[in-house]
Structure 1
Amino acid sequence: MVDMDSQMFGFDAPFSAILVGTSGGIGNALLEEAIKAVAANTVDASGHVFAINRKKQPSEYPAVTSLTADALNEEQLAETVATIKGSLQQNKFAPIRLILVAVGSLHTSQGTGPEKSLRSVTAHSMQEIFAANTVAPALAAKHFLPLLPKSGRTIFAALSARVGSISDNQLGGWYSYRASKSALNQILKTASIELSRTRPEAICVGLHPGTVDTKLSKPFQANVPDGKLFSAEQSANYLVQTLSRLTAEHSGQVFAWDGTPVPA
């Protein structure tokens, strides 16, 4: 279970962080956790947070730089990387040791929800869901992982979902969402192998945040057990505690909010 005494994502020194997709409920709550973590070091205030969204979201915190980039636009991602590199050098910020990717989608832009049967599957909806849940995190890994230092503990984590587990699929349905999260988990596993060759202490994982009380989850909350519907703040806090306990031996896996592994 979650160790509520864990601190600072498990880092014992000042660090900077990149968060991709902080406009949603969980993403914004993770941003708040990252801000608290980098501010927790009173001896060295060099920690900084770079928050990246499709639309710029100004922050009142001096330790946060808000940047604008579409996670599916590689030119914008490359420009963002250059900006972060320049800021790290110019301001002498602590190195990037944490990258959190909270982009993803349950519904299409037309408001179509998860498919209940194969009759509802369309090429357009599958492509859109895969773009948000699989392609965007993969591109974030491609562009931001090189910013991690080659020594010391580092983390790259992306929001996944338990329904992405193939062996745990007991109910069927949700074709595009399930498949896109399964594909994301494979991306993370493969990236973890590549990452280990140059950064042996790096951690690359997926995170299942549980069922979070947001507008998108409202239609699916009826069957959630008592005590298992979380606020965004609860979920983010649990995820932080889970990340705090991970080591490089856990890299390539997916973990639920309570720290238990999600089967492949």
Structure 2
Amino acid sequence: MTNRALVIGASGGIGAALAEALIARGAEVTRLSRSGGAFDITDPETVASALCGLDGPFDMILVASGMLAPEGGRPEKALAEIDAVAMARVFAVNAIGPALVLRHVPRLLPRGRRAIVGVLSARVGSIGDNRLGGWYSYRASKAAVNQIVHTAAIEIARQRPEVMLAALHPGTVETAFTEAYRAHHKVAPDVAAANLLAVLDRLTPADSGGFYDWAGKPVPW
């Protein structure tokens, strides 16, 4: 049972839905977000100040921040569209930001009992599943965060073997994040949240460090 949860990126479509779903389960939820408290996941000092100001332990920590492309831009369709500044911004939000959070996570986790850390990723971050190309910055940043989560799981397991970390693909969700992109099937944020929490509920320590889709199926690296 999740008694205390921390949701980072809690003002976004999926993050807000995750927070509400956890509250409906009876959890005490702490929310951090840019619009709900000036939490900038890309700024080391902001992250450190916010997380060091929290008292753990948390049974669940979720990182639901993400960016497809900088405001006013779009994912690259070709190599010729790659822009260094835009790519750095996408990496800062999608990979470096979660790494800055994970740096502080061990202090917020319990010892001797189950706890879960979930980080939103995306199937397009899978190298093995890439058949269409394009979206260089988004794909590469999600591949990077998958490696960060996997590596953090190895380290954290040495001191807290009951803690599980996972990179999660939520599917295509109806949010401002995806409204400009067509998809064969989009799910509502509350449905996505329920799916992801169901996946996390089923994780065992042997699954820690994995990359899973909304149905709990492993996604190729």
**TM > 0.5 between the two?**
yes
8 Å Cα contact 1:145/1:156 also seen in 2: no
- Deviations, residues 23-76 of structure 1 (Å, cap 9, x unaligned): 111111001012122x1xxxxxxx5211011233xxxxxxxxxx5422122222
Aligned-partner SS, 2:194: helix
Name the aligned partner's letter for residue 75 of structure 1: E
Aligned-partner SS, 1:125: helix
The aligned counterpart of 1:51 is 31
Name the aligned partner's letter for residue 132 of structure 2: L
Name the CA distance, whole Å, in 1 between partners of 2:88 and 2:196. Answer: 28
Name the CA distance, whole Å, in 2 between partners of 1:82 and 1:176. Answer: 30
Name the CA distance, whole Å, in 1 between partners of 2:38 and 2:205. Answer: 31
Question: Which of these residues, 4, 17, 42, is aligned with residue 72 of structure 1?
Answer: 42
Name the CA distance, whole Å, in 2 between partners of 1:115 and 1:81. Answer: 34
Name the CA distance, whole Å, in 2 between partners of 1:160 and 1:15. Answer: 25
Question: Which of these residues, 3, 6, 20, is aligned with residue 32 of structure 1?
Answer: 20
Aligned-partner SS, 1:203: strand
Name the CA distance, whole Å, in 2 between partners of 1:162 and 1:195. Answer: 24
List aligned pairs for 1:97-112, cutoff 5 A: 97-109=59-71, 111-112=72-73
The aligned counterpart of 2:199 is 242
Aligned-partner SS, 1:163: helix
The root-mean-square deviation of aligned C-alpha atoms, in Å, is 1.4
Structure 2 alignment gaps of length 5 or more: none
- Deviations, residues 101-134 of structure 1 (Å, cap 9, x unaligned): 001101212x211100001001011100000100
Name the CA distance, whole Å, in 2 between partners of 1:183 and 1:261. Answer: 17
Rg larger for: 1
Percent identity (aligned): 43
Name the CA distance, whole Å, in 2 between partners of 1:216 and 1:79. Answer: 27
- TM-score normalized by the length of structure 1: 0.80
Question: Which of these residues, 7, 15, 31, is aligned with residue 3 of structure 2?
Answer: 15
